[in-house]
Chain A
């Protein structure tokens, strides 16, 4: 079945540091890929998405590129802020298109 693996946290960074969260997936067919963010005490918000190979999703300074050859969708941000502290989830929507399969989440803590 489909699966998503992402790096375990917590990831602790200083403000303005570069952030990378690795995400790899296993799926049949051609899934759509997503990054969701969960701020403390809140629900999940869609951060960015990519629907086909080589697509780059971007939002709020975050970027991720759909790499079919390495089955990866790594999240990056060039300069993090304290307000980026949250749990980040990589997810895929497979050929059936009807459910999201999530990675285990990566907690990011940005210190001033």
Chain B
């Protein structure tokens, strides 16, 4: 049973395109997150949703738009992709904002 799943695992696209990454958790958690891991493995929070409500938005360009249709899903849509958006994007979830469980990551490559 996959606890936190993401699709796709790999995404290769050209500059200027729009793409989405999907995340689903079956843990019954109430909070979901998006993190970005750069080429040097540095991890940084992007967004957090609690019960479908946005609670953290960490100075991310507005080309990035998260959407949470329900508590179990948090999708990330990226408009007008740039080279600097190339990274691994991790979804995570937690219950009552305690320890977080991570998905396997989506490696985005922008050419």
The B interface is mostly helix, strand or loop, or mixed, namely strand
Q: Does A49 contact B (CB under 8 A)?
A: yes
Evaluate contact between A98 and B97: CB separation under 8 angstroms.
yes
Evaluate contact between B41 and A104: CB separation under 8 angstroms.
yes
Evaluate contact between B103 and A43: CB separation under 8 angstroms.
yes
A38–B101 alpha-carbon span in the complex (Å)? 12
Q: Which listed residue (B33, B43, B50, B55) contacts A102, Cβ 8 A?
A: B43
Instruction: Name which residue of chain B comes closest to A105, CB basis.
Output: B41
Contact partners of A34 in chain B: CB under 8 A: 99
Evaluate contact between B43 and A45: CB separation under 8 angstroms.
no
Contact partners of A36 in chain B: CB under 8 A: 102
Interface residues of B (CB under 8 A from A): 4, 31, 33, 35, 40-45, 48, 50, 55-56, 58, 90, 92, 97-105
Q: Does A82 contact B (CB under 8 A)?
A: no
Most buried by B among A42, A46, A100, A107: A100
The A interface is mostly helix, strand or loop, or mixed, namely strand
A51–B55 alpha-carbon span in the complex (Å)? 22
Contact partners of B99 in chain A: CB under 8 A: 32, 34, 46, 49, 93
Nearest Cβ in chain A — how far from B85, in angstroms? 19
Instruction: Name which residue of chain A comes closest to B46, CB basis.
Output: A99
Instruction: Name which residue of chain B comes closest to A87, CB basis.
Output: B41
Nearest Cβ in chain A — how far from B92, in angstroms? 8
Excluding A42-B104, A44-B90, A93-B99, 15 further A-B contacts by CB distance (< 8 Å) are: A32-B98, A38-B41, A43-B4, A43-B102, A44-B92, A44-B102, A46-B99, A87-B41, A97-B97, A98-B97, A100-B33, A100-B43, A101-B45, A104-B41, A105-B43
